[in-house]
Amino acid sequence: MVSPKVPAEFSGSGGTLGVVLIHDIYGRGPYMRADAEALGSVGVATATVDLFGGKVPAGREEGIQLAGTLTETGVLEALEEARVALRSRLTGPARVGALGFCMGGGYALLGACHRPFDFVVDFYGRIERVDEVAGLRGPLLLILGSEDERITPWALTEFLPAANRAKKRVSVEVFPGVRHAFHRPGWEGHDPAAAAEAWRRTLAFLAELRGPKAPLPGQS
């Protein structure tokens, strides 16, 4: 079994907004580090977790195998450890949220349902027990692709009704004509225009959380 007990990589400190970044099945690699750098450029501190215990999958199949060895308990412990450590690096009435992609998006959402994250951004990830959304403390931004045959139907027919029943704040962005994992560079389904717009929407969501008196750099 893979142990997620590998220290998170931290970037930035002293601000009032932080994000725990959670990788997809390809592990903590250049993609996640680029996202952490992009968040840092707008003043958002990050803690990028490594759920695969330092292992870097050689490809999709190995990534799926490693993902299958994770336990919910172990993942939640790793996310909470990163959340607490990141919060200690911030100042004032800071907020710490979770942001993830695919597998990591599902774990970001799961973590926010079970741990005191202040917000969550889920790029096309799912949780198995939708009623757990009752534990969500803050707002959720859910990013979907219209051609994602597994995640989008689940989100629209199962998750959103459950979130509505639980009276949770959910913003949904469905990007037309794109597939699962459209944000990941180098993947066959990558769509640069949709990825850029999804990222702009993410930054706008974060700016709203920071408030009008202290917007993200570059945000009006």
Q: Which residues of the chain have pLDDT under 70?
A: 1-5, 211-220
Q: What pLDDT sits at residue 7? A: 86
- Taking the C-alpha atoms of residue 191 and residue 65, their distance in angstroms, rounded to an integer, is 26
Q: Which two tokens stand for residue 16?
A: 């009032």
Q: What pLDDT sits at residue 4? A: 52
Q: Let me know: does 107 contact 132? Beta carbons within 8 Å.
A: no
- Taking the C-alpha atoms of residue 216 and residue 132, their distance in angstroms, rounded to an integer, is 31
Q: What pLDDT sits at residue 210? A: 82
CA distances from 91 to 19, 45, 99, 105, 177 (A): 14, 11, 20, 26, 41
Give the domains, in start order, of the chain with CATH numbers: 9-210 (3.40.50.1820)
Half-sphere exposure of 54 (CA within 13 A, CB side): 4
Q: pLDDT tens-digit profile of 143-200?
A: 999 999 999 999 999 999 999 999 999 999 999 999 999 999 999 999 999 999 999 9
Q: What pLDDT sits at residue 92? A: 87
Q: Let me know: does 46 contact 86? Beta carbons within 8 Å.
A: yes
Half-sphere exposure of 180 (CA within 13 A, CB side): 16
